[in-house]
Amino acid sequence: MDVAAERLAVVGGVAANARLRRALATAAHADGFHVSLPPPSLCTDNAAMIAAAGARLLARGEHHGLALNSFSRVPLGESPWVTE
């Protein structure tokens, strides 16, 4: 299957990499797609977001031990920790 992207957004800590930014800009120009790169000052690691999410869970009284599993791909709108 041949899939061509028209737009690419690069975000998070990886988007601060100057060499990657230059390579993506060059590829976008050569291959005719649009690449969105936020200013490097806004390209932060996701650790702050994870810490904020953890603080909210802790404030709700949720505690998880060191044996807690991690999930790299959870569908949007779902939480592997919330039970109803």
pLDDT of residue 17: 92
Question: What's the whole-number mean pLDDT along residues 32-57?
Answer: 85
Q: What is the DSSP letter of 25?
A: H
pLDDT digits (tens, 9 = 90+) for 8-18: 999 888 899 99
Specify the length of the chain in residues.
84
What is the Cα–Cα distance from 65 to 17, expressed in whole angstroms?
A: 34
- 69 band by pLDDT with thresholds 50, 70 and 90: confident
What is the Cα–Cα distance from 36 to 33, expressed in whole angstroms?
A: 10
- 24 band by pLDDT with thresholds 50, 70 and 90: very high
What is the Cα–Cα distance from 69 to 73, expressed in whole angstroms?
A: 12
Question: What's the whole-number mean pLDDT along residues 15-44?
Answer: 92
What is the Cα–Cα distance from 42 to 4, expressed in whole angstroms?
A: 28
Which position has the higher pLDDT, 60 or 71? 60
> What is the overall mean pLDDT for the chain?
82
